[in-house]
Amino acid sequence: MRSRQLAICDNDREYLRMLQAYLQKKNPADFEILIFDTVQMALEASCEEGFEILLVGEKTYDTSVIKINAAKVFILLEDGLSGITGYSRIAKYQSMETLIAQVLEEFALDDKCNSVDRCGRNKTTLISFYAPDRQKGQSIAALGAAQVLADQGHKVLYISLLPFTGFEELMGISYEADVTDFMYFVLNHSDKLLYKLDGMKRSIHGVDYLPPALDYADLIQICERDWERVVDTLLYSSDYTHIVVDLSETCQGFYHILERSDRVYTLYEDRTVYGQAMLSHYKKLLKAKEYHNILAHSVEFTLPGNWEEMCTSPADIALSPIGAYMKGVLDNGA
């Protein structure tokens, strides 16, 4: 299968150099990156092999752009005074992360732009974290483990399926779309998963993550079969070495995700009879439903009693004592 090409045409060579370096480092959606400083050079190259995406600087644009063989053309706006029409427009001078996210998001949503099914380049390990007693430490443990894996050189995607996460407040950020938007898109356009994923994902301490759901009711409405399709598509098509799921019963695919997981880390409170009783109830239920394989690849663990004092920011859990603690939990579960 030929590589998909993202071409950038701009006579600002310093801008080209910086954008090319960023794209080659991030490798969004597995594109081959091409750069041209004239429209004529881009036109000649596209005659040999068409581009999936072409970005053209507003001050570089000329009417020959219409002859270029490209599925989707974006104009990189500088002052917006050129009067160019008929193409999608993106602000040139913004963070490169935001620029590329906007490009991939619009490309994914364009029904005229086709893609192809593909197999991920890495074997993907699925890891789930779950607390039967709904411990608030579950997300710290799951995200901390994801950061530890990223620090070890793994490519990690973290997905929270909890009803409430507090991420916007904790991270000082706001989200325009969330994990449920991603899921509904993938269910209808599985061949464009990488475009949507790279357009939506955010990063924290080397870990990519999808914004958690604002309304947990949106999670509940997604049926079990659709959860199975999305999880299986992610495992098959993404290039992550590890997907870490912060799991809750609001997900109708609860048992499927546990079954598909290579390892299930079960957090419980061992200092109270309530925590131990809930863990016992959870294990009894799995046995009654004959999910013996889930129990077989489960690892039970607790957090230190003062874990909340050990990490002050979600951005650096791996650097805190909790990070070191979670590294030990992962090592014991290997």
Task: Answer yes or no: pTM beyond 0.85.
Answer: no
How much is the pLDDT for 121? 59
pLDDT at 270 over 90: no
Q: For position 198, what pLDDT does the model report?
A: 83
44-88 per-position pLDDT tens digit? 999 888 898 999 999 999 999 999 999 889 999 988 778 888 888
Place of tokens 């994902």: 201
Burial 278-310 (b: 16+ CB within 10 A, else e): bbeebbeebeeeebeebeeebeebbbeeebeeb
Q: Report pLDDT digits (tens) over 176-198.
A: 889 998 888 888 777 777 788 88
Closest CA to 184 of 142, 155, 213, 143: 213
Judged by DSSP in three states, 208 sits in strand
Amino acid at 225: R
DSSP H or E run through 70: strand 70-77
> What local confidence, expressed as pLDDT, does residue 298 receive?
96
pLDDT over 50 (residue 1): no
Run of H or E including 204: strand 202-204
116 Cβ neighbours under 8 A, 6+ residues apart? 1, 191
pLDDT tens-digit readout, 133-179: 888 899 999 999 999 999 999 999 999 999 999 888 888 888 888 99
- Give the distance from CA 84 to its chain's centroid: 34
pLDDT at 333 over 60: yes
User: Within a 13 Å sphere around the CA of 156, how many CA atoms are in the beta-carbon half?
Assistant: 24
SS3 71: strand
How far apart are alpha carbons 244 and 284 in whole angstroms? 25
5-36 b/e (C-beta count within 10 Å ≥ 16 → b): bbbbbbebeebbeebeebbeeeebbebbbbbb
Q: Where in the chain is the domain with CATH 3.40.50.300?
A: 125-333
Share of the chain above pLDDT 90, in %: 51
Going by pLDDT thresholds of 50, 70 and 90, the confidence category of residue 302 is very high
Which residues of the chain does CATH 3.40.50.10850 include?
5-109
* 18/234 Cα distance (integer angstroms): 30
Q: Please classify residue 187 by burial: count the beta carbons closer than 10 Å to its beta carbon, then call 0-12 exposed, 13-18 middle and 19+ buried.
A: middle
Sign of CA dihedral 28, 206, 222, 264: positive
- Mean pLDDT value across residues 230-237: 86
pLDDT at position 113 is 66
pLDDT the model gives residue 186: 82
d(CA 287, CA 285): 5
For a pLDDT cut of 70, what percent of the chain falls above it? 95
Which residues have CB under 8 Å from 188's CB, separation 6+?
none
CATH homologous superfamily for the domain 5-109: Ntrc-like two-domain protein. (3.40.50.10850)
Say if residue 288's pLDDT is above 90. yes
Q: Mean of the pLDDT values across residues 92-109?
A: 83
Q: Kindly tell me if the per-residue pLDDT of 116 is higher than 60.
A: no
Task: Report the first-to-last Cα separation within the chain, whole angstroms.
Answer: 35
Q: When comparing pLDDT for 322 and 313, which is higher?
A: 322
Q: What residues pair up with 242 in beta bridges, in sequence order?
A: 125, 156
Q: Which CATH superfamily is domain 125-333 in?
A: P-loop containing nucleotide triphosphate hydrolases (3.40.50.300)
Reference 67, options 50, 88, 83; nearest CA is 50
For the chain, give the mean pLDDT.
Answer: 88
> For 19-39, how does the pLDDT look when each residue is reduced to its tens digit (9 = 90+)?
888 888 777 777 888 999 999
Q: What is the mean pLDDT of residues 230-253?
A: 90
